[in-house]
A = this chain, B = another copy of it.
Amino acid sequence: MQVDEGIAILKENGHKYTDKRADILAYFIHAKGYRSAKALLAYMETSYAGISLDTIYRNLRLFEQLELLESREKNGEKLFKIACRSGTHHHHFICESCGLTKPLQKCPLPVYTEELADYHVNTHAFELYGLCPTCHNS
């Protein structure tokens, strides 16, 4: 995902380009892992002193709505990461040290077809956490 792609998607949906939006996208593209609104705010304040909380949260909501960002909740706060726009369903391994996310090829859903024969499965959440080879060997 490039910043330009994100901006293009914004415009296709009737939203405007702003430097702040480009920088927010760049922040998450570079991060490659989950980041909090607070972390984004801290980053943005280095370039835009006095940036409004409204701008941070409004754009996080917008980007998630446009599926440029994905989120999960932890310890009472929402965490965001750049979305995988591959189109195919997949899960992730997340490195607890460097935040790297590795897309996984297999989906564990078939494991439960028998066990949940009488149940209607709508969605599922699956994530693996640990250390990537680089962080494990250092």
Q: Which residues of A contact B (CB under 8 A)?
A: 73-74, 76, 78, 93, 96, 102, 104-106, 108, 111-112, 115-116, 118-133, 136
Contacts and interface: CB of A to CB of B under 8 A. Distances in A.
Nearest to A100: B119
Given A76-B73, A108-B111, A115-B106, A126 B124 contact: yes
Q: Indicate how many identical chains form the complex.
A: 2
Contacts of A120: 130-131, 136
Contact of A130 (B105, B115, B119): B119
Given A111-B111, A116-B93, A136-B120, A127 B130 contact: no
29 contacts: A73-B76, A76-B76, A76-B78, A93-B112, A93-B116, A93-B121, A96-B122, A102-B116, A102-B119, A104-B116, A106-B111, A106-B112, A108-B111, A112-B128, A116-B128, A116-B130, A119-B131, A119-B132, A119-B133, A120-B131, A120-B136, A121-B128, A121-B129, A122-B129, A122-B131, A123-B128, A124-B126, A124-B128, A124-B129
